Amino acid sequence: MAHDLFEAAKGAMAFAHAPYSKFPVGVAIRADDGKIYTGANIENLSFPQGWCAEPTAIGCMIMGGAKQIVEIAVIAEKLALCPPCGGCRQKIREFASVETKIYLCDEVGVQKTMTMDELLPFSFQTDTLG
């Protein structure tokens, strides 16, 4: 089932706007509505004030009406098994459970599967704080 997320993330990476970092990233989220939402990093001249692929996909998910991340795949063109950055880990956690699957990919597919809790232990949890 993660293969379709890999393909969607890889396709999203093609839309990355990364002229400054030269580090394209793509993300695909399967949400609680069963749909797949994608995102890519989008930089601007005021680097690093652009945004990562993860919040781009999360924004699409929320605007699409979904509320919860079921699973998410991440791929970067220049770094196999690239995990979300620290800030994005908390952004993902806002819409994920501790059991949410995080798939880290390389150019051929999913190579590592983690849970949200493994990716960001001791995270701020909305059910506790919010």
77 is known as an active-site residue:
no
First-last CA distance in the chain:
32
Question: 54, 71, 77, 107: which one is catalytic?
Answer: 54
Report how far residue 54's alpha carbon sits from residue 91's, in angstroms, rounded to the nearest whole number. Answer: 8
Contact 12, 28 (CB under 8 A): yes
Q: Give residue-wise pLDDT tens across range 64-78.
A: 999 999 999 999 999
Return the amino acid letter for 11: G
What backbone torsions phi and psi does residue 78 show, to the nearest 5 degrees? -110, 5
Mean pLDDT score of the chain: 94
What pLDDT, on a 0 to 100 scale, did the predictor assign at position 124?
A: 76
Q: Provide the whole-model pTM.
A: 0.93
What pLDDT, on a 0 to 100 scale, did the predictor assign at position 126?
A: 63
8 vs 39, 46, 99, 123, CA distance in Å?
A: 9, 28, 22, 27
> What are the residue ranges in the chain where pLDDT is below 70?
125-130
